């Protein structure tokens, strides 16, 4: 059964998408899991670089992305632009601060060493 994308403003059909079967869903979940396991071993500097790249791409493509959001979700163009900028800011924020957020936090206890991860 296809999944239909409809322009919420005028009710016009934009496109039909084929639904994934169970095997295709499992294949994509497995691929995502492998990517997660691979990227979690990357140094944070590399992950931060990737997040900054995403922020730059969001900024560079913001007009086209806002058009798609407006078409598919019915969001006002200005609101879609603001959402894209918010996402780009979040990527930059975590690229700049994420490593600190992920550091172990030492906890004072009677043990030789205690920390919260």
Domain extents in the chain: 1-41, 42-117
Residues 11-52: pLDDT tens digits?
999 999 999 999 999 999 999 999 999 999 999 999 999 999
Cα separation, 84 vs 65, whole angstroms: 8
Closest CA to 45 of 98, 88, 93, 91: 98
Number of H helices, E strands in the chain: 4, 4
Q: What is the pLDDT, as a whole number, of residue 30?
A: 98
Answer whether residue 7 shows pLDDT above 90: no
Q: What is the pLDDT, as a whole number, of residue 46?
A: 96
Answer whether residue 113 shows pLDDT above 90: no
């Amino acid at each position: 059964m296809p999944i239909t994308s409809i322009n919420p403003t005028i009710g016009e059909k934009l496109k039909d998408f084929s639904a994934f079967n169970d095997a295709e869903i499992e294949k994509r979940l497995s691929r995502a899991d492998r990517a997660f396991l691979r990227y979690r071993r990357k140094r944070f500097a590399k992950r931060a670089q990737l997040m900054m790249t995403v922020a730059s791409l969001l900024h560079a493509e913001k007009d086209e992305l806002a058009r798609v959001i407006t078409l598919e979700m019915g969001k006002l163009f200005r609101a879609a632009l603001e959402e894209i900028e918010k996402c780009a800011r979040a990527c930059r924020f975590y690229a700049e601060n994420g490593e600190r957020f992920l550091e172990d936090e030492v906890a004072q206890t009677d043990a030789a060493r205690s920390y919260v991860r």
